[in-house]
C-alpha cells in the first residue's frame, strides 16, 4: 500500500491552531492586549465594533516592529520572546508560543501598522486568511496598531456559533478588565461602537479597581499584603457584607497574568469561613508574585491555567494572609449574619424571624386584564379554577378517614391541634391549610394530602404575574416619596440599560440612568422600596449567569429573577389566610406544577400511599 501520511499545509495547520487560541472575539482581544504589553506600551487603546464580530483593534505606543519582523510575526511559532525551552521557566512576558498572530490571521482579515521609534516610516501589512494581500511603507506613529476584521469569515460554522452581541461583548469586557487590573501602571481605554466605555489612566491598584467597578467599590475593599520568601501577596478582598451572588469579581493574578484556579479560590473562600451569607461569594483582587521557575504556564493554550510547584504552601499562605487582613481590619468579629434558613434547623426560626418582613405578597397581586373588566379589587385573588376545585370534590364522603390519618402527622399549627378528630369542622372547612416548618403548606385533597413548597409556589405565582405585565405592558407603579439613588459598576449599568424597557413594564420608573448610578422614582406595587437594590443586584447577577440571547428570554429572565427575589422565603411564617391565598393563586396559574426554574412546587400523597405506611 502506498504511503498516506502528508504534512498539513501551513494555512490548514494555522486554522487548526486558531481553534485552540481563538474561541471568540474576546480571545483576540486578550492576545492583542498582551502583545501590546509585551511590547512595552504605556498607552493601549481597544476599539470594538459589533462585539468584535466586525472589528477588534488594538493600538499601542510600544516598541513596534521592523519591516522583517512585521512580516515574520504572522508565521507560526514566530516569537521574539523565547529562544530555548529553558526560557519557558524564566518567563517575563505574556506571550511566548508565537502562535497568536498566525492563528488570528488564518481566520480573519488583519491589518497591521507598525513603526519603531528610530524609523521615519513604518510598515503596513494586510493579511486575509493567512494570505498576504499587501505590504507597504506607511506613515504611522511609533507603536503598533492591529485591526482584526470579520473574524471567522472563512469558517462559517464558527461564526454562526458566536453568541449574541451582548454575550460576546461581555466576554470582551471581562478580558479587558483582567488585563487592565493586572497593569494599573499602564493606561487603557476601550471604545465600543464609537463611544468610550472605559478610560483608565495610570493609577494605583485601588484606584484602578474603582475606575473599573465604580466609586462605591472603594469602601468595600480590605487590603491584603503579605511578603514571604516563597511569594508576595498584594491586593484587596471585598468586605464580607458586600459578597455577591455571583463569582464575578474574583481575580487572581500570578506574575501579572490572570489565572483561574479552583484550588486557590478555595483557599480564599475558606478564609471567609463563617463570614458569608450562604450562596454568596467574596470579591477579591489578588496579585501573587512568585519565582517564574516555580510555575509552569505552558499547560494550556490560553495560558489561564498554571501549575505550581508547591500548591499546598501557596494555599496555606493565601488563606492565612486573607484571614489576617479580615481580622486586622476588624471585619470578622463584628459580623453576625443570619444563617440561611433551611429545613435542617427547623426549630431555630423562632429566633431568626425578627427581621423577616411580614408577607407582602397579597398586595403584590397585579390585576389581570379580565379581572379589571369585571371590576374586581386589585387585591382580590382569582377564584380557584376547575382543576383545583376538583381536587377537593368528594372529600366529604371519604374525608373523615383521610383527615384522621392525616392529623396524626404532627403539624405546628393551632388549627391542626384544635381540629384534631373534630370531624364536623373538617368537613365544613375543607380548605384547611397547615404550615409545616415554615416551609411547606399542607392541605387535604380528595385523594389524600397535598404538600406545597411555599417559596417555589410563590415564585410561580409572581413569575406569571410579571410575565403577564411585561407582555401586556401594563403595570401598576407606586411613586416613591424620595427618588432612590443606586450605584452600580459601568457594566452593571449596561445590563440595566438593556433591561430598562422591560423593567418599566413591570412598574419601575427611572428618572435617570447615568454612568455609574440610576435614579428610581417609581417601583412596582409589589416591590418594597427596601428590596429594590437587592432585586436589581439579583437580576444583574442572573443575567450574568444565564445570558439571554433573545428579547423573549430577557423578559423571561427578568420575570424569573424578580419572582425569585420577591417570593416569600422558606422560614417565613404565614397567616392562615395567606396560606390559603397562596394555594388558590398557585392553582390559578397556568403551570402550577413547577416553579419558573422547573422545580416541583407541590407533591400529593394519596390515602392509599399513607395506608401503606401504616401497615
Ligand atoms: P507571542 O506573543 O507568543 O510571541 P504572537 O503571535 O502573539 O506570539 O506575536 C508574534 C511576535 O510578534 C511577538 O513575539 C512580537 O515580537 C511581535 N509582536 C506582536 N504584537 C506586537 C506589538 N503590538 N508590538 C510589537 N511587537 C509585536
Ligand atoms: Mg502574543
Cα 201 to ligand 2 centre (Å): 24
Question: Does the pLDDT at position 111 exceed 50?
Answer: yes
Cα 199 to ligand 1 centre (Å): 25
pLDDT category at 180 given cuts 50, 70, 90 is: very high
Question: Does the pLDDT at position 117 exceed 70?
Answer: yes
Question: Does the pLDDT at position 455 exceed 60?
Answer: yes
State the alpha helices, DSSP H only, in 99-164. 100-106, 156-161
Cα 155 to ligand 1 centre (Å): 24
Q: What is the DSSP letter of 446?
A: T
Architecture of domain 440-604: 2-Layer Sandwich (3.30)
- 326-335: Cβ within 8 A, 24+ apart: 326/222, 326/237, 326/240, 326/271, 326/272, 326/275, 329/222, 329/223, 331/222, 331/239, 331/240, 331/275, 332/275, 335/240, 335/241, 335/275
Query: Domain 205-328 is in which class?
Result: alpha beta
Residue 418: how many other CB atoms lie within 10 Å: 9
Range with top average pLDDT, 42-56, 268-282, 345-359, 588-602: 42-56
Would you state the pLDDT for residue 376? 34
Which one of 21, 38, 114, 298 would you pick to mutate in the ligand 1 pocket, going by the greatest count of ligand atoms within 8 A of its CB? Answer: 38
d(CA 488, CA 532): 13
Asked if 520 contacts 529 with a C-beta cutoff of 8 angstroms, the reply is no
Domain ranges of the chain: 10-200, 205-328, 440-604
Q: From atom 13 of ligand 1, which residue's Cα is the shortest distance away?
A: 79
Question: Does the pLDDT at position 63 exceed 60?
Answer: yes
Query: Of all atoms in ligand 1, which is nearest to the CA of residue 35?
Result: 20
CATH T-level fold of 10-200: Heat Shock Protein 90 (3.30.565)
Query: Of all atoms in ligand 1, which is nearest to the CA of residue 60?
Result: 23
Q: What share of the chain in percent tops pLDDT 90?
A: 36
Q: Which of 17-21, 160-164, 253-257, 442-446 has the lowest mean pLDDT?
A: 17-21
Cα 480 to ligand 2 centre (Å): 53
Q: What share of the chain in percent tops pLDDT 70?
A: 80
Query: Of all atoms in ligand 1, which is nearest to the CA of residue 62?
Result: 24
Asked if 303 contacts 297 with a C-beta cutoff of 8 angstroms, the reply is yes
d(CA 301, CA 179): 17
Give strand ranges (E) for 50-185: 55-60, 109-115, 122-128, 131-138, 143-149
Report how far apart the first and last C-alpha atoms of the chain are (Å, whole number). 76
Query: Of all atoms in ligand 1, which is nearest to the CA of residue 143?
Result: 24
Question: Does the pLDDT at position 129 exceed 80?
Answer: yes
Residue 328: how many other CB atoms lie within 10 Å: 13
Q: From atom 23 of ligand 1, which residue's Cα is the shortest distance away?
A: 36
Q: Which of 81-85, 193-197, 337-341, 553-557 has the lowest mean pLDDT?
A: 337-341
Give the three-state DSSP class for 486.
strand
Q: What integer best gives the mean pLDDT of the chain? A: 80
Give strand ranges (E) for 219-265: 221-227, 231-238, 250-254, 257-258
Cα 295 to ligand 1 centre (Å): 22
Give the three-state DSSP class for 154.
coil
122 lines ligand 1 (CB under 6 A): no
Asked if 179 contacts 30 with a C-beta cutoff of 8 angstroms, the reply is yes
103 lines ligand 1 (CB under 6 A): no
257 lines ligand 1 (CB under 6 A): no
Ligand nearest to the CA of 146: 1
Give bridge partners of residue 45 from the DSSP assignment.
59, 189
Amino acid at each position: 500500500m502506498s504511503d498516506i501520511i502528508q504534512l498539513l499545509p501551513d494555512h490548514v495547520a494555522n486554522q487548526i491552531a486558531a481553534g485552540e487560541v481563538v474561541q471568540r472575539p474576546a480571545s483576540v482581544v486578550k492576545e492583542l492586549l498582551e502583545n501590546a504589553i509585551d511590547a512595552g506600551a504605556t498607552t493601549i487603546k481597544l476599539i470594538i465594533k459589533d462585539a468584535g464580530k466586525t472589528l477588534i483593534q488594538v493600538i499601542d505606543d510600544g516598541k513596534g516592529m521592523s519591516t522583517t519582523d512585521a512580516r515574520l510575526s504572522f508565521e507560526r511559532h514566530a516569537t521574539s520572546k523565547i529562544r530555548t525551552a529553558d526560557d519557558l521557566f524564566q518567563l517575563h512576558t505574556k506571550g511566548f508560543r508565537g502562535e497568536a498572530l498566525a492563528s488570528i490571521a488564518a481566520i480573519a482579515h488583519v491589518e497591521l501598522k507598525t513603526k519603531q521609534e528610530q524609523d521615519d516610516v513604518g510598515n503596513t501589512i494586510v493579511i486575509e486568511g493567512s494570505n498576504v494581500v499587501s505590504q507597504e511603507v506607511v506613515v504611522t506613529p511609533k507603536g503598533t496598531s492591529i485591526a482584526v476584521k470579520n473574524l471567522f469569515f472563512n469558517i462559517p460554522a464558527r461564526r454562526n456559533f458566536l453568541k449574541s452581541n451582548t454575550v460576546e461583548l461581555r466576554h470582551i469586557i471581562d478580558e479587558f478588565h483582567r488585563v487592565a487590573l493586572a497593569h494599573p501602571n499602564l493606561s487603557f481605554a476601550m471604545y465600543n461602537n464609537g463611544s468610550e466605555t472605559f478610560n483608565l489612566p495610570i493609577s494605583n491598584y485601588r484606584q484602578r479597581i474603582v475606575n473599573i467597578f465604580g466609586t462605591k467599590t472603594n469602601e468595600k475593599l480590605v487590603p491584603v499584603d503579605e511578603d514571604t520568601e516563597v511569594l508576595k501577596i498584594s491586593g484587596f478582598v471585598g468586605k464580607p457584607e458586600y459578597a455577591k451572588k455571583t463569582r464575578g469579581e474574583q481575580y487572581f493574578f500570578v506574575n501579572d497574568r490572570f489565572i483561574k484556579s479552583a484550588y486557590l479560590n478555595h483557599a480564599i473562600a475558606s478564609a471567609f469561613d463563617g463570614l458569608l451569607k450562604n450562596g454568596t461569594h467574596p470579591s477579591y483582587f489578588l496579585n501573587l508574585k512568585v519565582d517564574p521557575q516555580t510555575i509552569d504556564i505552558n499547560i494550556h493554550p490560553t495560558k489561564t491555567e498554571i501549575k505550581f510547584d508547591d500548591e499546598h504552601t501557596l494555599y496555606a499562605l493565601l488563606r492565612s494572609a486573607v484571614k489576617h487582613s479580615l481580622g486586622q481590619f476588624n471585619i470578622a468579629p463584628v459580623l453576625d449574619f443570619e444563617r440561611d434558613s433551611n429545613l435542617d434547623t427547623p426549630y431555630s426560626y423562632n429566633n431568626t424571624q425578627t427581621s423577616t418582613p411580614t408577607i407582602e405578597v397579597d398586595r403584590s397581586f397585579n390585576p389581570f386584564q379580565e379581572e379589571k373588566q369585571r371590576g374586581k379589587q386589585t387585591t382580590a385573588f382569582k377564584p380557584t379554577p376547575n382543576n383545583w376545585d376538583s381536587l377537593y370534590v368528594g372529600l366529604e364522603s371519604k374525608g373523615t378517614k383521610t383527615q384522621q390519618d392525616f392529623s396524626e402527622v404532627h403539624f405546628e399549627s393551632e388549627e391542626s391541634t384544635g381540629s384534631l378528630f373534630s370531624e364536623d369542622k373538617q368537613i365544613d372547612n375543607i380548605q384547611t391549610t397547615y404550615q409545616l416548618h415554615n416551609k411547606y403548606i399542607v392541605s387535604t385533597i380528595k385523594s389524600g394530602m397535598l404538600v406545597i413548597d411555599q417559596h417555589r409556589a410563590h415564585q410561580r405565582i409572581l413569575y406569571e404575574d410579571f410575565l403577564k405585565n411585561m407582555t401586556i405592558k401594563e403595570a401598576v407603579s407606586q411613586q416613591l416619596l424620595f427618588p432612590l439613588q443606586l450605584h452600580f459598576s459601568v457594566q452593571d449599568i449596561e445590563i440595566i440599560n438593556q433591561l430598562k424597557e422591560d423593567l418599566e413594564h413591570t412598574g419601575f420608573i427611572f428618572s435617570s440612568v447615568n454612568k455609574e448610578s440610576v435614579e428610581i422614582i417609581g417601583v412596582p406595587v409589589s416591590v418594597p422600596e427596601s428590596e429594590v437594590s437587592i432585586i436589581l443586584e439579583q437580576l444583574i447577577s442572573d443575567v450574568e449567569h444565564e445570558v439571554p440571547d433573545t428579547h423573549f428570554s430577557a423578559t423571561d429572565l427578568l420575570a424569573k429573577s424578580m419572582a425569585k427575589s420577591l417570593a416569600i422565603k422558606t422560614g417565613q411564617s404565614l397567616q392562615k389566610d395567606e396560606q390559603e391565598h397562596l394555594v388558590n393563586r398557585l392553582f390559578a396559574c397556568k403551570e402550577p406544577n413547577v416553579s419558573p426554574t422547573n422545580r416541583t412546587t407541590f407533591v400529593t400523597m394519596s390515602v392509599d400511599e399513607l395506608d401503606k405506611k401504616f401497615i
